[in-house]
Structure 1
Amino acid sequence: MGLVDFQTSLFADDTADSTVLSPERQRLSHGAWVDVQRNWLCDPDAVFSALVDRVPWRAERREMYDSVVDVPRLVHTYLAADPLPHPALTQARTALSEHYLPELGEPFVTAGCCYYRDGRDSVAWHGDTIGRGRTADTMVAIVSVGDPRRLLLRPRGGGASIALTMGHGDLVVMGGSCQRTWEHAVPKVAHSGPRMSVQFRPLNVF
């Protein structure tokens, strides 16, 4: 898979340093919160290229009503023992584990990757509640590279929603009860270039 049409040099930030974490926290309802740090990932241009070229992306299909349809994005998950496709991602995971250890009580171990090829790719409203996130507070740390896309969050059962635009090298961490009491989505848009996200999670959080 070759490099896609994304002009990384327009978005690069040489000041990004994934060893330094100083996110801004927004408190949500029901014990949920979101941390945001802009331009955090070290060398996002190189990470973008590595994700495109080195990740064994796969398309998934799912049942919907009476048919089986394509999931509108490509995916791959790196398990705890798997080497990540770029050293900056390994550095990022280590920095996240060290920073959040007092709150989380454990390291981030897995790295789920999503490839939004254009504005037609998306992810529907959901919470990461297949594993321990269904019953316990946890964290999911998302690093984004590529074209900006909106991450929407809304409380389960209704209430005011929020929108965060994730840009090239940005970090968003969803914590507390966020996976149980809130949902998140990346909606379709009319026009967008490629964007990839890496979601760092603790063990048995999906």
Structure 2
Amino acid sequence: MSQGGLFAPEPLVIVDDDHGRFAYEPGVISPSLAEAWFATLLAEVPWQAKRREMYGRDVDVPRLVQHYALDDPALPPVLRDAGREVVAATGTPFTSVGLNLYRDGRDSVAPHNDHIEELAEGAPITLLSLGATRTMTLRERESPKRKFDVKLESGSLLAMSYATQFHWDHGIPKARGEVGPRISLAFRVKGSQAPIRR
């Protein structure tokens, strides 16, 4: 799908209807700052390997993860800066950030929706991408079952409205060939704190 130029003046709205809103905005974070944030997070975050049950057996989660509350006094300064930029760009007072490290093209996340019970009702989710470009798949569950593949560039934001979690799955499929590492920062409003709407 066409995504517009790097300096598109407005976010690219992929979907905006009763089933929710996806909007992609490249170049929100400058290339030099995105590169610096990526290098710092890659080196300094205590990344965790997880296991989960699938088909009756425990398997490795194919990526590394970490999570922080944005009001944690021990929050790494880079994440405090990133959170400030994302809040300013979206107008939403996010309270937490989940990090995923995709080390290469073999790392992935299966199509899924977020745990809606953990989110403030009506609150959007915004993803900040750093590092290598990876494709995110968006798949509608009900008719007309639309499908989109969105290339998430470093420094870009993908905003997903609360409603999308009821009607769409999103995921990062495995990639062929040489693919560099990517870090995804997923900003959320946890609990009962209501989002600011713009």
| 1:177 partnered with 2:168 | no
Alignment gaps of 5+ in structure 1:
1-14
SS at match of 1:131: helix
Cα deviation code 1:148-181 (max 9, x no counterpart): 1001111123512111101111111111411111
Find the counterpart in structure 1 of residue 104 from structure 2: 118
| 1:52 partnered with 2:42 | yes
Q: Residues 124 and 188 of structure 2 are in contact (CA less than 8 Å); yes or no, is this contact kept in structure 1? A: yes
Matches within 5 A, 1:11-90: 22-42=10-30, 43-82=33-72, 83-87=74-78, 89-90=79-80
Q: Percent identity?
A: 34
Find the counterpart in structure 2 of residue 144 from structure 1: 129
Q: How many residues are paired up? A: 181
Q: C-alpha distance in 2, partners of 1:183/1:163?
A: 12
In structure 2, give the amino acid aligned to 1:90. Answer: R
Q: C-alpha distance in 2, partners of 1:26/1:145?
A: 21
- Say if 1:84 and 1:167 are closer, same or farther in 2 by CA, change over 3 A: farther
TM-score (norm: length of structure 2):
0.81
SS at match of 2:94: coil
SS at match of 2:65: strand
Alignment gaps of 5+ in structure 2:
1-5, 193-198
1:99 Cα deviation from its structure 2 partner: 4.6
1:204 Cα deviation from its structure 2 partner: 3.2
Q: C-alpha distance in 1, partners of 2:60/2:25?
A: 33
TM-score (norm: length of structure 1):
0.78
Q: C-alpha distance in 2, partners of 1:132/1:72?
A: 23
Deviates more, 1:136-145 or 1:58-67: 136-145
Query: Which aligned segments of 4 or more residues in structure 1 are displaced greater than 6 angstroms?
Result: none
Q: Residues 70 and 83 of structure 2 are in contact (CA less than 8 Å); yes or no, is this contact kept in structure 1? A: no
1:137 Cα deviation from its structure 2 partner: 3.0
Deviates more, 1:63-72 or 1:35-44: 35-44
1:23 Cα deviation from its structure 2 partner: 2.6
Cα deviation code 1:100-139 (max 9, x no counterpart): 44xx5xx111010000001110000111134255x94321
Deviates more, 1:183-192 or 1:172-181: 172-181
Find the counterpart in structure 2 of residue 195 from structure 1: 182
Q: C-alpha distance in 2, partners of 1:152/1:29?
A: 18
Q: Residues 30 and 181 of structure 1 are in contact (CA less than 8 Å); yes or no, is this contact kept in structure 2? A: no
- Say if 1:129 and 1:156 are closer, same or farther in 2 by CA, change over 3 A: farther
